[in-house]
Chains A and B, each alone.
Chain A
Amino acid sequence: MLRVNALSYKHILKEISFTVKKGEIVAILGPNGAGKTTLFRCLMRLLKPSKGNVYLKEKPLSAYQTKELARVAAYCPQSPKVGFDYQVRTVVLMGRSPYLSPLNAPSAKDFAVVEKAMETLGIKALAERPLHTLSGGQQRLVFLARALAQEAELIFLDEPTAHLDLKHQIHVLQKIKDLAREKGLTFVMNLHDPNMALAYAGRILLLKAGRLIGELSAKDEKLKKALEELYEIEFSLCSLENKLFVFPRI
């Protein structure tokens, strides 16, 4: 699905290589300033990498047209700025933009896709509400619905759990897991909580100071060591109900 080959961006990203297969959920862990958001922006072609190649469905990213790219890959930014207080349905409908010419009015089919996307994420009842009246968790689902309306196979999520309480973090991540399993969608997201990543992501990449320093897996004996190297603090491991959890030592 996605193949990143020795990607560098100025001094922020250094020689990053990884691949993502269809239907995978890949989480990226890393301290603040490690270059996670920059990586996403390079992968969505919002920034031009200084070196290296990105292949999306075996086609170089640079060969995609703007519209074509948006039909394959969607991006949910961390804090979307919507200048006007649009209704939820209007925001989700924006996901149809890559299928419409500037002069087209959205067709009945576009509206059907939008309704379906809202239904999938359980926000259909909110369709007429102004976006700013929704809670943080609900807003996150609206932007996820917009990505679904884009009918993209690969969705980049920049901190999907930021500013959410625990219940809503789990709710959003569970929705993402369901979508990957049921629809075969592929997700690449960055998270800050290693336990959430262990529970919901198929693979975890560790990004530190612009370099990928390894992968994390729950069965790994080096789990503790890898996290300590990544965040430069000490961790404790703990096994509860046959699941492994990590805690920073505080």
Chain B
Amino acid sequence: MNIKWFFFIFFCLGVIFLSFFIGPTGFIPPGGLGKAIIWEIRAPRVMLAAFCGAMLAASGASLQAIFRNPLVDPYLLGLSSGGALGCALSVAFFPWLPVPLAAFLGASLAAFLTYSLARLEGSASRLALILSGVIVSAFLMAIVSLIKFLLDPHRMSEVVLWMMGSFALARWETVKTTVPFMCVGAAVLVALRHRLNVLSLSEEEAKSLGVSVGRERVLIISAVTLGVGATVAAAGIIGWVGLMVPHLVRLSFGPENERVLPASLLAGAAVLVAADTLARSVSSFDLPVGILTAILGVPFFVYLLRKARGEWP
């Protein structure tokens, strides 16, 4: 077991470390600019991708546990769209509102809407939750499109990049303003990792085991909302990482959340950093990483559906 963890940690950190040295200009950029390129351009970008990946994966793992639903992730529940709406509103109409805060408020609104909509069906079942996530997401994105339409074209490019999910605008300044929020969100989730197992039971069973289910669920959703809001503020909407990574982690570490959560943090960081490195080095264009994760994510979703054939209501 320990050897497995050792290799896992070594591999993840190795991927992140190597990413500092990969880019369109080669392993070590030529000329005296090398240091500046690595430190001023690549380093903040890799750091931001690592923190966002970690936060998204940990959020996905926690949400999957508390909703007993392997298909849930921050993107599918509409949290990312809510965050995007917050960002767009802040850029377009309320420049005095800090973008991470706006993203958090937007994501909170989305969480509230999705959950209350799913509750209408009765018990917020797996299917109801996914459906209401899709509906809320579509609704919020429509408003974002409306804002885009109203916005003058010069400022629009920024919003467009956001909606595709990209680290192209990552600077040390972005790292400073968003990463602390992600750290708080992730720290809460990690602190509650032992509790996630019992929270993944039905509400009644968890209650009969002495757990204040409602209160603890709200705590977890708030932590996820805070952290995911910050990732949206940092890099826009990046889907599928939160869905894929916890599944891959469970395949090798088992479903126990006290292991899934820390492993998801690391694996999420490594996966998103690798995806972003691929996106920025594969061509001379700086592709938005959100496009890449979505292209990888859809076949994965199909695989999950096939694997679970008939098991899900």
The CA-CA distance from A90 to B70 in the complex, in Å, is 19
Which residue of A has the minimal Cβ distance to B188? A103
Chain B residues with Cβ below 8 Å from A94 are 197-198, 201, 209
Residues of B within 8 A of A71 (CB): 210
Which of B70, B208, B254, B256 has the most C-beta atoms of chain A within 10 angstroms of its own C-beta?
A: B208
Decide if A100 is an interface residue (CB 8 Å cutoff): yes
A80 touches B210 (CB 8 A): no
A197 to chain B, nearest CB (A): 24
Find out whether the CB atom of A103 lies under 8 angstroms from the CB atom of B192: yes
A46-B204, A83-B200, A86-B197 in contact; A97/B258 too (CB < 8 A)?
no
Query: Does residue A250 face the partner (Cβ distance < 8 Å to B)?
Result: no
Given A67-B210, A90-B197, are A77 and B254 also a contact pair (CB < 8 Å)?
Answer: no
Contacts A80-B201, A86-B256, A102-B216 given; does A70 touch B194 at CB 8 Å: no
Partner of B207, one of A46, A93, A105: A46
B52 to chain A, nearest CB (A): 25
Once the chains bind, are A46 and B208 in contact (CB under 8 Å)?
yes
What string of 1s and 0s marks CB contacts (under 8 Å) between A62-87 and chain B?
Answer: 00001111110011010011111111
Separation of A159 and B180 alpha carbons in the complex (Å): 50
Indicate the size class of the contact surface on chain A.
Answer: 20 to 34
* Contact mask for chain B residues 207-221; partner A; CB cutoff 8 A; 1 contact, 0 none: 111111000100100
Taking the closest CB of chain A, its distance from the CB of B59, in whole angstroms, is 17
**Alpha-carbon distance A3/B207, docked complex (angstroms):** 22
Tell me whether B256 and A66 are in contact (CB under 8 A).
no
Tell whether B158 is near chain A: CB-to-CB under 8 Å: no
Contact partner of B195 among A69, A70, A75, A102, CB < 8 A? Answer: A102
Write the chain B residue with the least CB distance to A105: B194
Q: CB-nearest residue of chain B relative to A94? A: B198
Q: Does B3 contact A (CB under 8 A)?
A: no
The reply to whether B204 and A77 form a contact with Cβ atoms under 8 Å apart is yes
Q: Whole-angstrom distance between the alpha carbons of A243 and B207 in the complex?
A: 41
A66/B212 in contact, CB under 8 A: yes
A86–B257 alpha-carbon span in the complex (Å) = 9
Q: How far is the CA of A66 from the CA of B207 in the complex (A)?
A: 7
Residue of A nearest to B260 (CB): A84
Minimum CB distance partner of A81 in chain B = B202
- Choose one: A83, A93, A103; the contact of B68 (CB below 8 Å): A83
* A-B contact list, 23 entries, CB within 8 Å: A46-B204, A46-B207, A46-B208, A66-B210, A69-B210, A70-B208, A70-B209, A70-B210, A71-B210, A75-B208, A81-B68, A81-B201, A82-B201, A84-B65, A84-B255, A85-B255, A94-B201, A97-B206, A98-B209, A102-B195, A103-B195, A105-B258, A106-B194
- In the A-B complex, list the 6 residue pairs whose CB atoms are closest, starting with the nearest: A70-B210, A98-B210, A83-B68, A84-B255, A75-B208, A67-B210
